[in-house]
Amino acid sequence: IETLAQLEAAARAGRVRELPGFGEKTERGILDSIATHHVARQRVQRQVAHQFAEPLVTYLQAMPGVDKVVVAGSYRRGKETVGDLDILATTHGESRVMEHFVHYDEVAQIISQGATRATVVLRSGLQVDLRVVEQHSFGAALHYFTGSKAHNIQLRRLGQQRGLKINEYGVFRRDGQWVGGDTEASVFESVGLPPIPPELREGRGEIEAAQAGRLPTLISLSNLAGDLHVHTLATDGHATIEEMARAAKAAGLSYLAITDHTRSLTVAHGLDEARLAQQLDEIDRLNEQLQGITILKGSEVEILEDGSLDLSEAILARLDLVIGGVHSQFHLSSRKQTLRILRAMNSRYFSILAHPSARLLGERQAIAVDMQQVIATAHQRGCYLELNSQPQRLDLTDVYSQSAKEQGVLICINSDGHSANDFALLEGGIEQARRGWLSKEDVLNTRPLKTLREALRATMG
Ligand code: DGT
Ligand code: CA
Ligand code: CA
């Protein structure tokens, strides 16, 4: 046995316990360690990291002598997955925050522990760094450890051009004189820039945009007027249409499209034309009863392997919108997959391309599709691309959202909700939209109902 994979295979096959000096318990121990090792090396979904970060921050903040506690790194930049958590804290007096940190109940392993820095691994496998920094360095440290590395390098270069040294301790003149770094804003100000939102700090043009006074006003959750992709009990959802509508209203939305799956997606009890027609009647009934929320008629139509849609034009014509998605045949060649999707988008009734890459984080790679062609087709055809808020999807991704925006293609941020609580997921979609430089204007479902209806009608027939 020479590799970890071979060891794992042998332990799984029960061959380790047969060795002299090894038993079943050792074998199980080996398998557990390997599993932990795998988890520790994997990137963690943002939402999962959030579940571990929040209580840890609360725990640290409750410690006497602790002032600020902030999670920096990719987490603060809103990335859809994080490698580890980078926490910064400031303290006063005799704080024992490091001791407190390494004794946190969830800590499985202490990797290192010093006076101002410690690294631990939580039981979940998530690694966490804590750094205690001086108050006057807090902004510089927050900037440095928020990253990204590409952004930091660019900013440091700007500083050098002005004779300034920028590091995690502050901003310094050549003679060593401290000129800033207590706040993040002071770091940006030292190089003549306005503050750049963490979500944009990927070294993809944000510094140039800031210099030119052209940073976008990023979208926020309160800008969303509705959600155009949810499921109900009729297929794989867990709530009725009415429950979903009431929950959408409670979430501050003014319209909601019901978009259940179609017949070919048998695992989700997809609707055939007769069941969809029944649903449309029920929506008419509910719209007469409900106040303060409008239900739109939609369908998440299967894009079949040849790019045709799973329902007849006769029934599609009765809808307010058609959202088309790929849920099968993930392994087609790039040429076939791209042709398939472009053909679907060019259908007579087609409003929004659902979760364009079909990826499931940690589970399924993105399909091989030429996303630039998809964006160009959305532009020509006059349809929209979804940014799906499911934590495992979060797709369209940041780079393509930015590209769609540049080409004038509107994005639709949807929950793809399957239960009444799922509207909370929209926050995650908004975070990714911000990483994609999107403003309110770039997002279809920030429009009031009347404008939205016009925009959808243009895609239908
Ligand atoms: P992750 O953890 O893989 O999701 O990504 P980050 O961005 O959180 O990266 P991480 O944890 O390695 O480091 C946190 C931040 O610290 C990073 O975004 C920028 C800063 N940093 C780390 N290493 C370097 C470096 O070598 N140079 C510079 N300028 N900054 C660095
Ligand atoms: Ca990190
Ligand atoms: Ca780190």
- Grade residue 75 by pLDDT with cuts at 50, 70 and 90: very high
Any atom of ligand 1 within 6 Å of the Cβ of 198: no
Q: Is 82 helix (H, G, I), strand (E, B) or coil?
A: strand
Neighbours of ion ligand 2 (CB under 5 A): 73-74, 84, 86
pLDDT tens, residue by residue, 381-409: 999 999 999 999 999 999 999 999 999 99
In this prediction, residue 39 carries a pLDDT of 59
How remote is the CA of residue 48 from the centroid of ligand 3, in Å? 17
How remote is the CA of residue 29 from the centroid of ligand 3, in Å? 28
In this prediction, residue 37 carries a pLDDT of 67
To test the pocket of ligand 1, the residue of 142, 144, 149 to mutate (highest count of ligand atoms within 8 Å of its CB) is 149
In this prediction, residue 32 carries a pLDDT of 82
- Taking the CA of residue 153 as reference, the ligand 1 atom at the shortest distance is 29
In order of 18, 19, 37, 39, 40, the CA distances from 12 in angstroms are: 12, 14, 16, 18, 20
- Grade residue 38 by pLDDT with cuts at 50, 70 and 90: low
Q: Is 396 helix (H, G, I), strand (E, B) or coil?
A: coil
- Quote the tokens at residue 12: 């799984």
How remote is the CA of residue 149 from the centroid of ligand 1, in Å? 6
pTM of the model: 0.90
DSSP-assigned states of every residue in 171-210: EEETT--EEE-SSHHHHHHHTT-PPPPGGGTTTSSHHHHH
How remote is the CA of residue 82 from the centroid of ligand 3, in Å? 9
Helices (H), 105-148: 138-146
How remote is the CA of residue 134 from the centroid of ligand 3, in Å? 19
In order of 328, 347, 379, the CA distances from 352 in angstroms are: 18, 11, 12
To test the pocket of ligand 1, the residue of 75, 86, 87 to mutate (highest count of ligand atoms within 8 Å of its CB) is 86
To test the pocket of ligand 1, the residue of 121, 152, 157, 160 to mutate (highest count of ligand atoms within 8 Å of its CB) is 152
The answer to whether residue 333 scores a pLDDT higher than 60 is yes
Q: What percent of the chain has pLDDT over 70?
A: 99
Q: Please enumerate in sequence order all residues whose Cβ is within 8 A of that of 411, keeping only pairs 6 or more positions apart, or say none.
A: 384, 385, 386, 387, 396, 401, 404, 405, 433, 436, 438, 442, 443, 444
What is the distance between the alpha carbons of residues 398 and 18, in angstroms, rounded to a whole number? 51
In this prediction, residue 36 carries a pLDDT of 66
The answer to whether residue 93 scores a pLDDT higher than 90 is no
- Taking the CA of residue 81 as reference, the ligand 1 atom at the shortest distance is 4
- Taking the CA of residue 79 as reference, the ligand 1 atom at the shortest distance is 4
pLDDT tens, residue by residue, 289-311: 999 999 999 999 999 999 999 99
- Grade residue 432 by pLDDT with cuts at 50, 70 and 90: very high
In this prediction, residues 426-442 reach a mean pLDDT of 98
The answer to whether residue 111 scores a pLDDT higher than 70 is yes
In this prediction, residue 5 carries a pLDDT of 85
Q: How many Cβ atoms sit within 10 Å of the Cβ of residue 112? A: 10
Q: Whose CA is nearest to atom 27 of ligand 1?
A: 149
Closest Cα to residue 324, out of 358, 297, 364, 351?
351
User: Phi, psi at residue 378, to the nearest 5°?
Assistant: -60, -40
In order of 193, 208, 216, 362, 460, the CA distances from 186 in angstroms are: 9, 18, 20, 38, 51
What is the distance between the alpha carbons of residues 52 and 263, in angstroms, rounded to a whole number? 39
pLDDT tens, residue by residue, 199-244: 999 999 999 999 999 999 999 999 999 999 999 999 999 999 999 9
Any atom of ligand 1 within 6 Å of the Cβ of 147: yes
Amino acid in the structure at residue 162:
R
Q: Please enumerate in sequence order all residues whose Cβ is within 8 A of that of 316, keeping only pairs 6 or more positions apart, or say none.
A: 299, 301, 309, 322, 348, 349, 460
pLDDT tens, residue by residue, 2-18: 888 899 999 999 999 99
What is the distance between the alpha carbons of residues 270 and 290, in angstroms, rounded to a whole number? 26
In this prediction, residue 273 carries a pLDDT of 97
Q: Is 50 helix (H, G, I), strand (E, B) or coil?
A: helix
Q: Whose CA is nearest to atom 20 of ligand 1?
A: 145
- Quote the tokens at residue 318: 């009765």
Mean predicted lDDT score pLDDT of the chain: 96
In this prediction, residue 95 carries a pLDDT of 83
